[in-house]
A and B are shown apart, each in its own frame.
Chain A
Amino acid sequence: MRAPVLPLADPVWSSSDRALELMRVVATAKEAPVGQTPKTVVWRKNKARLYRYQREEPATRRTPVFLSLPLINRAYILDLRPGNSFVEFLLEEGHDVYLFDWGTWGPEDRNVTITDLVTRYLPRAIARASASAGGPVTLLGYCIGGVLAVCFAALHPDAAVKNLVLFTTPIDFADAGQFGIWTAKGRFPIERIRETLDVVPGELVDVGAKMLNPIGSTLGTYLQLYEKLGDPSFDPRAWQAMYRWVNEGTPFPAAAYHQWITEFYQDNLLVKGRLRMDGRPVRLGAIRVPFLNVAATTDTIAPRTTTRVTLASVASRDKTEIVIEGGHVGIVVGRTAKMELWPRVSRWLKRHD
């Protein structure tokens, strides 16, 4: 009897249907349907689009929610799929919902800075949303989208923003965890990145995120899927939608990336009150609108050390913090989000409607 060339190959292929199913689920994940809630474009600038989600019934809550998304990920994370969509939840709760999608930056955007996004994109998008809704909005920022929202609110205290909500948004970079160590001055070739790349590829940012937990984000992902495939109630489409999002990063304009690393991570200018945009100081103390900060206990992207000072930094008299057990993405769109975070945010929004 001939020995098999690959001793493990036969058992893999013949004894485990789950192994085949695992490969099929992973291979077809990039086609998983995402962001399916119907929406219309209200305004556009360059690659960015301001969407208004369609409602079947008129809104029952007066204040629309304006979602400011991170630069490095696809915007559909908050509208992942029916049944697991924060947008869908807000619509059901009676809000009008606007989402500002930065789009996919190209080489022609190499000189776009964070300042441009805060002073030229966001003000117009928020003004358009407010005009379209007929009143001020609740500005809700997630991760870097939260940093942009904070800078905007600090620079524009008279803007049509009624409330400010942050989801897992790093503010104080004095101890920014592993990202802080990797991007420290003298070690991280940020000037070389700026002069070489037009846009920082999504893959590069993605590798950095995966390095935060190299075992769990590689082996763990597939072994968990393998295990779940044995559960008859498991819906692989939900897993595929999240897998697609995790692996579908977007490029970061090189100038914005340079500003992000040098002014936020390396010099920590925001929390020191020394950040300037278009010659004007960005002071967190200028934020006076009702404020909700949401943080995650085991967040490695925006560790608790980066979110702890947020509440004390703003001058709002009405301010609340919700700290949830979990990670950066998990508390916002994970399995427990709709039982844990979303209802708590909705109750806060109702009180501040």
Chain B
Amino acid sequence: MTKQRTTSSNTEAQPDPFEVWRKFYDANEAVWSKAAKETTSSEAFAEMQGRMLETFLSFQKSARDAMNAQLATLNLPSRDDVARLGEIIVGLEEKIDRIEDHLASLAPRPPARAKASRSRRS
């Protein structure tokens, strides 16, 4: 009995860390958000962010150029080559769309639909 009570009392005393964290957050969120907004709205932050992005892109470009060079040495198509093929297919689809548009512009407008359309607007 004594042991049981002790365990129960320990559980009650045990703080729920999430609850503690939530209270801490509720008490400070407004201040943190205001500070974060002020920081991220500054020109200095924007410049730093731009420089970080520039650095990331430089690495990305180097890695991509290196990979393309290796694939070319191995006579294998690169991602750019496959993308170019995809672009050609999408370009063909655009040409078909233009032909369809042209054919549609030549076809006489069905009288029934034109009438229905007029009555709908009235």
Residues of A within 8 A of B116 (CB): 134-135
Residues of B within 8 A of A197 (CB): 57, 60
Contact of A187 among B14, B47, B60, B84 (CB under 8 A): B47
Distance in angstroms from A177 CB to nearest chain B CB is: 8
Q: Tell me if A37 is interfacial: C-beta within 8 Å of chain B.
A: no
Smallest CB gap from B88: residue in A: A108
Q: Tell me if A340 is interfacial: C-beta within 8 Å of chain B.
A: no
Give the interface segment out of A68-76, A188-196, A271-279, A288-296.
A188-196
Smallest CB gap from A192: residue in B: B57
Contact of A193 among B15, B49, B57 (CB under 8 A): B57
Residues of A within 8 A of B18 (CB): 12, 16, 18-19, 223, 226
Q: Tell me if A227 is interfacial: C-beta within 8 Å of chain B.
A: yes
Q: Is there contact, CB below 8 Å, between B57 and A134?
A: no
> Known: A15-B11, A134-B120, A223-B22. Is A124-B101 also a contact (CB below 8 A)?
yes
Q: Is there contact, CB below 8 Å, between A198 and B83?
A: yes
Give the interface segment out of A24-32, A208-216, A326-334.
A208-216
Distance in angstroms from A285 CB to nearest chain B CB is: 24
Residues of A within 8 A of B47 (CB): 187
Residues of B within 8 A of A198 (CB): 79, 83
Give the interface segment out of A78-86, A178-186, A236-244.
A178-186
Residues of B within 8 A of A107 (CB): 79-80, 82-83, 86
Contact of B40 among A211, A223, A226 (CB under 8 A): A211
Q: Is there contact, CB below 8 Å, between B93 and A46?
A: yes
Smallest CB gap from A216: residue in B: B33
Q: Is there contact, CB below 8 Å, between A11 and B61?
A: no
Smallest CB gap from A120: residue in B: B94
Give CA–CA (A110, B46) in the complex, Å.
Answer: 26
Residues of B within 8 A of A211 (CB): 40
Q: Tell me if B121 is interfacial: C-beta within 8 Å of chain A.
A: yes
Q: Tell me if A220 is interfacial: C-beta within 8 Å of chain B.
A: yes
Q: Tell me if A202 is interfacial: C-beta within 8 Å of chain B.
A: no
Q: Is there contact, CB below 8 Å, between B64 and A182?
A: no
Query: A245-256: contact bitstring with B at CB < 8 Å (1 yes, 0 no)?
Result: 000000000000
* CB-contacts of B86-113 with A (<8 A): 86-87, 89-90, 93-94, 97, 101, 113
Residue in B42, B43, B49, B57 with the greatest tally of chain A CB atoms within 10 Å: B49
Total interface residues on A, CB under 8 Å, equals: 45
Question: Is the contact region of chain B dominated by helix, strand, or loop, or is it mixed?
Answer: helix
Smallest CB gap from A123: residue in B: B101
> Known: A62-B120, A107-B79, A108-B86. Is A182-B32 also a contact (CB below 8 A)?
no
Distance in angstroms from A266 CB to nearest chain B CB is: 13
Q: Tell me if A94 is interfacial: C-beta within 8 Å of chain B.
A: no
Q: Is there contact, CB below 8 Å, between A215 and B32?
A: yes
Give CA–CA (A217, B57) in the complex, Å.
Answer: 25
Residues of B within 8 A of A110 (CB): 83, 87
Q: Is there contact, CB below 8 Å, between B117 and A134?
A: yes
Distance in angstroms from B69 CB to nearest chain A CB is: 16
Q: Is there contact, CB below 8 Å, between A11 and B17?
A: yes
Give CA–CA (A195, B61) in the complex, Å.
Answer: 9
Q: Is there contact, CB below 8 Å, between A220 and B90?
A: no
Q: Is there contact, CB below 8 Å, between B50 and A189?
A: yes
Q: Is there contact, CB below 8 Å, between A223 and B86?
A: no
Give CA–CA (A216, B49) in the complex, Å.
Answer: 20
Q: Is there contact, CB below 8 Å, between A135 and B121?
A: yes
> Known: A62-B120, A198-B83. Is A223-B61 also a contact (CB below 8 A)?
no
Give CA–CA (A182, B49) in the complex, Å.
Answer: 8
Jot down 14 A-B pairs with beta carbons below 8 A, ordered by A: A8-B17, A11-B16, A16-B18, A19-B18, A135-B116, A136-B121, A181-B46, A182-B49, A192-B53, A192-B54, A192-B61, A198-B83, A212-B40, A214-B36
Give me 4 other A-B pairs in contact (C-beta within 8 A), A109-B90, A223-B21 excluded. A107-B86, A187-B49, A196-B57, A223-B25
A interface list, Cβ under 8 A from B? 8, 11-12, 15-16, 18-19, 45-46, 62, 106-111, 120, 124, 134-136, 178, 181-182, 184, 187-189, 192-193, 195-198, 211-216, 219-220, 223, 226-227
